[in-house]
């Protein structure tokens, strides 16, 4: 077998080992049979046309974590304990809309509903009037609940939900209040989802971002291509080029090693 063939076999083996390690790590970290999902909309972006590392943008791939492996930390909880993911406090969750279509949005607050009374224990340690507002108290909420300074694009905004409207619509039950960082309103007030997100609707918690790689799927399927940030395709091209250069470097090093052996060094 000549040197070029040996070198190619080594490169293939290295690529295979790296692939196996990465896949095994993904499944172990995720705890799910299908750990990856592609972001197909801009509802979590912090810019209208620019992709950022650490932010969930259109065309990014997200590694999902099973809810059995990780408890959800809401924005309001993160505001108190400092937990943040993807550019803002709290966790981003993946839930099913209409029982089948997944949505990737931030969990803002867990609301309890029991015996006709709304409550949110997390609000107890936040400042009423500064962090939130309502005509009632944290353990007896009513009317319009306002949560202040929530993430919105690259800024913040106050966002409200009419709790009485949920009751009137027959949607009064405990669950997560959710919102996309790019969206102006809560999912429950904008038609994204009817009612709060119950735990049975929770598919996963967003764990890691793999930037730009999902653009390939969108381009092949001609889906939401206009939503892909303008710097994502150039960044994806550079990432692919870096991978090619990495394996080319391995080939060069192997040739150099063989040369040293031939020279008796």
User: Does 117 reside within a domain?
Assistant: yes
Angle at 104 between CA 102 and CA 108, to 5 degrees: 125
Mapping DSSP to helix (H, G, I), strand (E, B) and coil, where does residue 44 land? coil
Residue 30 falls within a domain, yes or no?
A: no
Closest to 247 (Cα-Cα) out of 1, 13, 86, 5: 13
Within a domain: residue 60?
yes
- Per the structure block, which two tokens stand in for 3? 């040197």
Closest CA to 126 of 176, 183, 76: 76
93 within a domain of the structure (yes/no): yes
**Is 248 inside any structural domain?**
no
Whether residue 28 is contained in a domain is answered as no
Least confident piece of the model among 89-103, 113-127, 163-177, 248-262: 248-262
* Count of structural domains, the chain: 1
In a domain, 4, yes or no: no
**Interval 183-239: pLDDT, tens:** 999 999 998 998 999 999 999 999 999 999 999 999 999 999 999 999 999 999 999
* pLDDT tens string 23-57: 888 888 899 999 999 999 999 999 999 999 999 99
Beta-sheet strands, E only, within 125-220: 132-133, 144-152, 155-162, 175-179, 202-210
| Alpha-carbon torsion angle 70, 158, 224, 46, nearest 10 | -70
Tens digits of per-residue pLDDT, 158-187?
Answer: 999 999 999 999 999 999 999 999 999 999
d(CA 134, CA 190): 20
Residue 15: inside a domain: no
Q: Is the pTM of this model over 0.75?
A: yes
Q: Is the pLDDT of residue 4 over 60?
A: no
What residue numbers bound the domain in which 119 lies?
A: 36-229
Residue 109's DSSP bridge partners are 177
| Cβ pair 185, 90 in contact under 8 A | no
Least confident of 33-37, 83-87, 88-92, 176-180: 33-37
Over the chain, what is the mean pLDDT? 91
């Amino acid at each position: 077998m000549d040197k070029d063939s040996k070198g190619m076999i080594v490169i293939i083996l290295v690529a295979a080992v790296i692939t196996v390690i990465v896949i095994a790590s993904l499944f172990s970290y995720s705890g799910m049979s299908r750990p990856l999902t592609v972001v197909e909309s801009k509802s979590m972006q912090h810019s209208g046309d620019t992709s950022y590392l650490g932010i969930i943008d259109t065309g990014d791939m997200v590694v999902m974590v099973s809810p059995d492996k990780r408890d959800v930390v809401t924005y309001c909880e993160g505001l108190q304990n400092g937990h943040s993911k993807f550019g803002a406090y709290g966790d981003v969750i993946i839930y099913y809309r209409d029982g089948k279509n997944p949505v990737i949005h931030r969990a803002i607050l867990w609301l309890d509903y029991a015996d006709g009374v709304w409550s949110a224990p997390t609000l107890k340690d936040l400042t009423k009037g500064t962090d939130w507002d309502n005509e009632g108290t944290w353990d007896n909420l009513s009317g319009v609940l306002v949560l202040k300074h929530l993430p919105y694009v690259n800024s913040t905004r106050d966002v409200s939900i009419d709790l009485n409207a949920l009751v009137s619509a027959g949607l009064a039950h405990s669950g997560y209040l959710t919102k996309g960082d790019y969206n102006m309103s809560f999912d429950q007030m904008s038609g994204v989802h009817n009612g709060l997100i119950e735990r049975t609707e929770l598919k996963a918690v967003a764990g890691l971002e793999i930037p730009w790689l999902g653009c390939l799927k969108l381009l092949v399927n001609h889906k939401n291509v206009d939503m892909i940030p303008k710097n994502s395709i150039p960044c994806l091209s550079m990432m692919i080029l870096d991978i090619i250069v990495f394996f080319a470097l391995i080939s060069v090093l192997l040739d150099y090693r063989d040369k040293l052996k031939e020279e008796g060094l």
